[in-house]
Structure 1
Amino acid sequence: MLLSSHQDMFVEAGCDEAGRGCLAGPVFAAAVIFCRTFKHEVLTDSKQLSAAQRSELRQLIEAEALAFAVASATPQEIDRINIHNASYLAMHRALDMLALKAEYIIVDGNRFIPYQQTPHCCIIKGDGKYLSIAAASILAKTYRDEYMEQIAEEFPAYGWGQNKGYPTTQHRTAIIAHGFTPHHRRSFRVTDPQLSLF
């Protein structure tokens, strides 16, 4: 894992999102700024870590980052502007919330809507290459998971405490049995032809 070479010249923020492929819940995004000398051997893409590791690293990130922020876009916003634009909206909101102004942005993936007039770079699989993006992926994932566990208490049939809103068989079967909730993304399609709900 690396710090980007741009950190020698700019205050650089790494950005990533969580929850893009879910049927329910917001999409979350985070932005993280580290100092130039920050290093960590374990910090990597959140998908490569256990829940316990993510929780431990979240505490470290929040303690060690020069600045961090987490934001979201609602299911209704996702339905209105599509999931890709909603992901960028959540990233922009996180960047707005940073205590330090980002002078350069690195983003996981291959697309991004420019933020104000700040230069940026898209990096495919950036969450496995750059520490600030990896940290953003962990914050976005852990904050989103907590949110889904909270709303699962109100709608226990959908299994959000376990599936976090992703299209598992349990989740799709629950939609057939119980219908939609205000937390569902109505614009999403279920790929299984036997469970074509939307």
Structure 2
Amino acid sequence: MKTILVIDDEKNIRMTVSYALEVEGFQVDTAVNGEDALQQMIDKQYNLLLLDLQMPGMGGMEFLRRLVARNTLPHVVIISAHGTVANAVEAMKLGAVDFIQKPFTPEELRRLVAAVFARDVLDPTAALTYEENLQLVKRLVGERRMEEAIGRAKETIGLDPQRPEAFNLLGALYDIEGERSQAMKNYRVALDLDPTYQVAQKNLQRRWEERSQPDLG
């Protein structure tokens, strides 16, 4: 059974998330802040953390740094109260690849959690589909293997150069690495291929306005 720890100071979020995932067969525990979560993780290992960044006491970023220092970081989904996350790039560098914005529906949450766990079974040596490669790239980012993630994103582009998703993903990876010009270049290619691709539109606009987190798609 997969184990999940929900770390959020809002009681209604903890209760809503717990119920939405427990009915799917997950074992769910909750914590009110980083200190509480660290205490619970002494005696128990978790497969996934659902983490709010803004909490009284130890916030989400300091909590992530502590886990990375201990080399004990499982999958992490950031729960965001707003469309922007001030520390998003640092959070991604620490391995927090996925974001979900409040308010979200139980079904949106379940889909994201399922996608995160589905990455675990992907074999990088196998002949993966385009979509599977996109998920593998996200897994590599979560494991803080950025060089491999960038290489795999480029390979994915080669599988179907007419699709925008891998170009946007590569742009987001360069964004995380601080390579602004390369990020902008790949976002523009994605939009040239599909002017209606909203993820790339949002990333390009965000890059011009210097706000929010890169969207990996």
In the superposition, the TM-score normalised over structure 1's length comes to: 0.26
More helix by share: 2
In the superposition, the TM-score normalised over structure 2's length comes to: 0.24
